[in-house]
Amino acid sequence: MKQSSSIPWLLRWISAAPSRWLGRSSAVQQYIAGGTHGLSYLRHLARGNRVRRQASFEAIPEGQRPLLVIHGFMGTRGTMYPLEQRLAEDGFCVFSFNLGAINIRDIRRSAFLIHRKVERILEQTGWRELDIVAHSMGGLIGLYYIKKLGGHERVRKLVTLGTPYRGTWIALCGVATLGLLSTSSWQLVPGSRFLGELHDGPIPAGVHVYSIAAARDWLCPPSATRLQGVQSLTVPFGHGSLVVSADVYQYVQRILQSEAAVPEDIPFEAGADQQPWPERLEYDSVPSSDASPDLPPATQPLKRARAKRVRAANRGDAALAETSPRGVTSSALSSRRGKGNG
């Protein structure tokens, strides 16, 4: 399949900007650019989706479980390139996926695309399960796939890097600038209906989820990455460093290589996996029937123009939990797998 060579002009412009554009102060480098790895992150972001794909399965090491990496909001396959290269050099059978020029679509739809990608990988490699490493919003995509689209039957470990399980208020910037063009911006706001749906029910048995947070991450602070049933640790970096830093990679590598659910040589934070699920917040706006005609009701963004005060807890979230992109349900996906369709 021919890859798209188009990259948003903004990404090219950022990549070509001199380092002084980001400022020489350590504060700017640490908090805006993601620490000392910020420029490297932006450079790889500008690669877009022009990343070499795994075309042949003959070179896959025998006994090596497949691994899928998922990038985050407004990211590209290029943002995961440093991590992907390190994994490949260490013998991992690693794959990535093109989620568009910039990843701003409905998280549910992205999870459905990941479902199809996983089925293709497993069919071609002969494996029955794989691992996932995801950055930022990519972790929400992975968790939704696991909890709502039958991914618990396909995933052994989900390692997330700077994933806002509890949402992030910086998403309001996306709401203000992208509006209805970016459903995921609305879904990332703390207390959103999507997060309520995602938090409904425990993490399925047999799947181990890990969260690596960055202490200097103002996009997704460590407090937003804690969730019940998730093993957590914090590293002294910024958001972009999580996919660039060699130190962070060492943790990722050890988690993936360990057969234990909680590797003893990793300093996971005691009690972090016992954090209660977030309470659903009261919000002033709800999806309207005509907000986004091409989306099912569960995926329509909030619309203030038609607001009326409700509590999400009273809105039948149990029904939403069964809804997947384009009206496909979890049971339908299971049926497809039974027929051999990925």
159-205: pLDDT as tens digits:
999 999 999 999 999 889 887 888 999 999 999 999 999 999 999 99
In this predicted structure, what is the pLDDT of residue 285? Answer: 38
Q: List the structure tokens of 72.
A: 């985050």
Nearest to 141 by CA among 123, 119, 122, 160: 160
Average pLDDT of the chain is: 73
Rounded Cα–Cα distance for residues 136 and 71 (Å): 7
| CA 246 – CA 140 distance, rounded (Å) | 24
Query: CA distances (Å), 266 to each of 164, 271, 272, 317, in order?
Result: 21, 15, 14, 36
Residue 205 pLDDT: 95
For residue 337, what pLDDT band results from cuts at 50, 70 and 90?
Answer: very low
Instruction: Please tell me the predicted confidence (pLDDT) of residue 78.
Output: 73
How many DSSP H helices and E strands does the chain contain? 12, 8
DSSP characters over 165-217: TT--TTHHHHHHHHGGG-HHHHHTSTT-HHHHHHTSSPPPTT-EEEEEEETT-
Q: Does the pLDDT of residue 120 top 90, yes or no?
A: yes
Please give the pLDDT value at position 59: 54
* CB 156 within 8 Å of CB 65: yes
Q: How many C-beta atoms surround the C-beta of residue 275 within 10 A?
A: 18
**113-117, 203-207, 305-309, 331-335: segment of lowest average pLDDT:** 305-309
pLDDT of residue 36: 53
The mean pLDDT value for 94-113 works out to 88
Residue with the larger pLDDT of the pair 54 and 187: 187
Q: How confident is the model at residue 48 (pLDDT cuts 50, 70, 90)?
A: very low
Question: Which pLDDT does position 50 carry in this prediction?
Answer: 58
The full set of domains in the chain, from first to last, is 9-19+27-274 (3.40.50.1820), 282-328 (no CATH)
User: What is the Cα–Cα distance from 230 to 273, expressed in whole angstroms?
Assistant: 5
Asked which of 73-87, 114-128, 205-219 is least confident by mean pLDDT, the reply is 73-87
CB-CB contact of 108 with 325 (8 Å) = yes
State yes or no: pLDDT of 9 exceeds 60.
no
pLDDT at residue 68 greater than cutoff 80: yes
- Quote the percentage of the chain above a pLDDT of 70: 63
Give the residue with greater pLDDT, 239 vs 211.
Answer: 211
- Give the predicted TM-score (pTM) of the model: 0.70
The 10s digit of each residue's pLDDT in 269-302 is 877 777 776 765 544 333 332 333 343 333 333 3
Residue 13: pLDDT over 90:
no
**pLDDT above 90: residue 250:** yes
Among residues 279, 242, 285, 287, which one has the least CA distance to residue 106?
Answer: 287
pLDDT of the residue at 319: 31
| Residues in CB range of 253: below 8 A, 6 or more apart | 86, 87, 90
Could you tell me the pLDDT band of residue 136, with boundaries at 50, 70 and 90? very high
**Residue 142, H or E segment:** helix 137-148
**Do residues 231 and 212 touch, judged by C-beta distance below 8 A?**
no
Instruction: Report residue 315's pLDDT band, with 50, 70 and 90 as the boundaries.
Output: very low
Question: With b meaning 16 or more CB within 10 Å and e meaning fewer, what string describes 101-133?
Answer: ebbbbbbbbbbbbbbebbbebbeebebebbbbb
Phi, psi of 33, deg, nearest 5: -85, -5
pLDDT class for 210, splitting at 50, 70, 90? very high
What does the pLDDT average to over 72-99?
87
Q: How confident is the model at residue 75 (pLDDT cuts 50, 70, 90)?
A: confident
Place 81 in a pLDDT band, splitting at 50, 70 and 90.
confident
Which residue would you say has higher pLDDT here, 110 or 340?
A: 110
**Which is nearest to 243 in space by CA: 214, 222, 206?**
214
Residue keyed to tokens 């490297």: 40
Lowest mean pLDDT across 18-32, 93-107, 118-132, 293-307 = 293-307
- Residues 314 and 326: their CA atoms lie apart, in Å, by 24
Q: What percent of the chain has pLDDT over 90?
A: 44
